[in-house]
Structure 1
Amino acid sequence: MKDAFGIPQSLLVLGGTSEIGLATARRLITRRTRTVWLAGRPSPALDAAAEELRGSGADVRTVAFDALDSEAHEEALGKVFTEGDIDMVLLAFGVLGDQARDEGDPLAAVRVAQTNYTGAVSAGLVCARALQAQGHGSLVVLSSVAGERARRSNFIYGSSKAGLDAFAQGLGDALHGTGVHVMVVRPGFVRTKMTAGLAEAPLATTPDAVAAAIELGLRRRSETVWVPGALRVVMAGLRHVPRPLFRRLPV
């Protein structure tokens, strides 16, 4: 169960090598979290992430999970919940893709969509049902400001995140009153390996900053979190820019 401040004692990270996911796990372990599951494709990187977190004093376990293998989600994630209640699920997997390449390669574009959206829908519903069955818990979904309005520079990725964001918001409404809390996190440009080499956007942030915002959101039982918070105002303005003008903006 969560403590009096809303900090989970047990955590499942979907996307076990995600830099944001691991930063969040580290932060929560320094608070109250004692059991962590890292779900991801079996790899030396997943094993190394688990070993690092064990060094912080947590009981860390791994489970094989592939966002693209939706048919296996129920069995894989079901194993985690049969081991005991999970106070928080962090849906942290996703791929950026390569916009220029993916526009000319429909299969590559579909892979981005399947990972970021359909894989998340499948895993999200499996976990939501398990959380509802135990009667408590939080499902935290990493969305993106890229989903707020499709931009020429990354509309494939952005559209997949727009779908994920809408799904998570609707799931939160469906679970309202059940004891399950859904929180959507909308970071801007995050300095990670995934964004290495890309031109940095204004208001860029870090995995640690996103982790801090997630912790604060849990304490407040927020439903939507922007990282940094100033992006809420920025994106509100961009949503209403006339399309002819929007096309000319360097975004």
Structure 2
Amino acid sequence: MLVRVLKKVIATRYVLPLREGGSLPGLVEADDLGMYVVKFVGAGQGRKTLVAEVVTGELGRALGLPVPELALVEIDPVIGRGEPDPEVQELIKASGGLNLGMDFLPGSLGFDPLSVEVEADFAGRVLWFDALTGNVDRSWRNPNMLLWHGSPYLIDHGATLIFHHNWAGAERYVTRPYDAHDHVLAGSAPDLAAADAELAPRVDEELLRGVVDLVPDEWLSQEPGFGSPQEVRDAYVRHLLARATDRSWLPEVAR
């Protein structure tokens, strides 16, 4: 059983914006003296991006994939008063409360598939994981991987779990095929058959409940069509368990 809680920290200083992607994440210092790349609940993509970051990121960690540590970052809007950029000020003002932080990896480099050799078993596990969670954002154009101390790390999972943007039609995503043609590791001879044999049996209800329970209630409350945060959690578990069981979505290279 997954026995884990996300560390909670309090932001003490907004350091600088990271103008990559559309969510305007920021580098933030916290009361544990750590530095975090924070995605804000007040950003245009909304709280579901943060839910996807937690569910997918922590599921990947539970499956043994390298994901930087995640934390819940308490933001007091007052820390944005000194920022000269009005866009940043408005974002922080709209993000009071819990936000999602990823441990900052100082000195990390963007992953370049043309210069980094990846073993077939690792490529297979990453591709299988991305297919399970419907990750549309790990392409050769935008790998969403970092190289830190010579090892790859998986980042930015906000574009996964796209079914939760339309719960009424979520069932049709259970068997939706995964298009791997432009995946960043498609050219690394990914051993998807081995990954499927290793990982699929591990994605059971107990694991999924442990992962989904890490999401704060406030990010799941008042979800249309649901009566409580627990009902939303149950829906995530049902969907991901059904997809892990079905697996007709596996890319052709796995067959």
Question: What TM-score does the superposition give when structure 2 sets the normalisation length?
Answer: 0.29
The structure that is helix-richer by fraction is 1
Question: What TM-score does the superposition give when structure 1 sets the normalisation length?
Answer: 0.29
Q: RCO higher in 1 or 2 (8 Å CA, sep ≥ 6)?
A: 2
